[in-house]
Amino acid sequence: MLIDTDDIRPTRKQLSPTTAELLQDRDGSLPVWVRAPRKGHEHYSGLTRPKLYHLAALGVIQTKSLREPGRVRGVRLFNLRSILEFIERA
């Protein structure tokens, strides 16, 4: 059976209002949230994974943990703006 490729059109998903608001929080081309590097230094701030977690434990930078209900593991994201503001204050 042959499929006519003219009938296949890419669909664009409409962004939710929350997602649109988050995208407006960006500073130019910088992301809003970053992940801690597995090894080495984080690309934008130059901080290591242990340092990011230490600053988060002190409450001087913002973080969010994303984890599905019932799961043990998730991902921790760090707010890049709060990291850069901390560096600026130091």
pLDDT value, residue 25? 60
With 0.95 as the threshold, say if the pTM is over it. no
pLDDT value, residue 26? 61
Whether residue 32 contacts residue 22, with contact meaning beta carbons closer than 8 Å, is answered with yes
3-state secondary structure of 17: helix
Reported as a single tens digit per residue, the pLDDT across 30-65 is: 899 999 999 999 999 999 999 999 999 999 999 999
Please determine, for residue 82, whether its predicted confidence score (pLDDT) is greater than 60: yes
Reported as a single tens digit per residue, the pLDDT across 16-29 is: 666 556 556 666 78
Q: How far is 79 from 85, CA to CA, in rounded Å?
A: 10
Q: How far is CA 54 from the centre of its chain?
A: 18
Residue 81 CB neighbours (<10 A): 17
